[in-house]
Amino acid sequence: MKWAASAFVFAIVLGFSLHRPPVLAATPDTLRYLSPGELVISADGWRLYVVCERSDEVLVLDTTSGAVLKRVSVGHLPRGIALSRDGSLIYVTNSWIDTVSVIDAEKLEVAGSIATGFEPTGVLVDHEGKTLYVANRLSNDISVIDLATRKETKRLAGGRGASYLALSPDGSLIYCTHVYPKLNAFRSPPESEITVIDTRIQQVIERKPLHNVAGVFHVALSTDGGIGVAAQLRPKNLIPLAHVEHGWAFGNSLTLFGKDIPGSVQAPLD
């Protein structure tokens, strides 16, 4: 009987965990804080587009006055945002419905939707403006999408929790980071990577190893492409999480990489 009761409770808990919570109604309480995340500025500098995860919308702000010009409703739990090369379209990843919303930047309304992998997060347009790359956190891959047809042509294998993307200044390379480390042996240091994609052949050409890194987040390149910087978490001496109250379990740090740096260099911040 005890086993049956335990199994019943487990089934209930598992059932709840496998279902995503409903969209919150837009009441004054829920709109008090919209959970703004990613943002991008228009090419002319007059507009700021802000992704609001809690309210499932993109806020369009006037950069001179700070006033909200428009609220554009998108899919559930939007995460990433990118502009087309001519600035006429805005791409927003909807992480809980596995799509990208396409917004007309002139009309400020959704003009279409693109299917992706599971839990799309980061997004960028290639240098030629012909291909959209989307990092899918749950399926651990990167969707390659033809913008002419708005169809996915392939998926590239990434690290666990593929989430953030950065394009090299010359457009030849894309760097993808991952918020979860690889699965290693118990009590062994975590291993992560920076996945490097060649945009000319649309293939992964390198996986830069990151030792003792538990998760890698935003990544950026210098204007000449010589140095890349990725934000990351490193565990401290593999201490049990039960000991968090006795000291930090993770430290914030950066990884520096690129043609001007042999291998990679990890720089602790705290």
User: In this predicted structure, what is the pLDDT of residue 14?
Assistant: 41
Domain span holding position 221: 116-268
Question: How confident is the model over 77-123, as pLDDT tens digits?
Answer: 999 999 999 999 999 999 999 999 999 999 999 999 999 999 999 99
CATH number of the domain residue 155 falls in: 2.130.10.10
Residue 129 has pLDDT above 60, yes or no: yes
Question: How confident is the model over 195-220, as pLDDT tens digits?
Answer: 999 999 999 999 999 999 999 999 99
- Whether 262 is in a domain gets the answer yes
Statement: the pTM of the whole predicted model exceeds 0.75? yes
- Whether 65 is in a domain gets the answer no
Q: How far apart (Å, rounded) are the C-alpha atoms in residues 142 and 80? A: 13
- Whether 263 is in a domain gets the answer yes
Number of H helices, E strands in the chain: 1, 20
Burial zone of 158 (CB within 10 Å; 0-12 exposed, 13-18 middle, 19+ buried):
buried
- Whether 227 is in a domain gets the answer yes
Classify residue 21 by its DSSP letter: P
- Whether 45 is in a domain gets the answer no
Classify residue 244 by its DSSP letter: G
Which amino acid, one-letter code, is at 206? E
- Whether 9 is in a domain gets the answer no
Instruction: State how many domains the chain has.
Output: 1
Residue 3 has pLDDT above 60, yes or no: no
Identify the residue whose tokens are 């914030």.
Answer: 252
pLDDT mean over 48-76:
96
Beta strands in the chain (DSSP E): 36-41, 47-52, 57-62, 68-73, 78-83, 89-94, 99-104, 109-115, 120-125, 131-136, 141-146, 151-157, 162-167, 173-178, 191-198, 203-211, 215-221, 228-235, 250-257, 264-268
For residue 128, the tally of other CB atoms under 10 A from its CB is 11
Q: How far is CA 46 from CA 51, 61, 81, in A?
A: 17, 8, 17
Residues above pLDDT 90, as percent of the chain: 72
Torsion of CA 207, 197, 232, 138, to 10 degrees: -100
159, two tokens: 């690290």
- Whether 130 is in a domain gets the answer yes
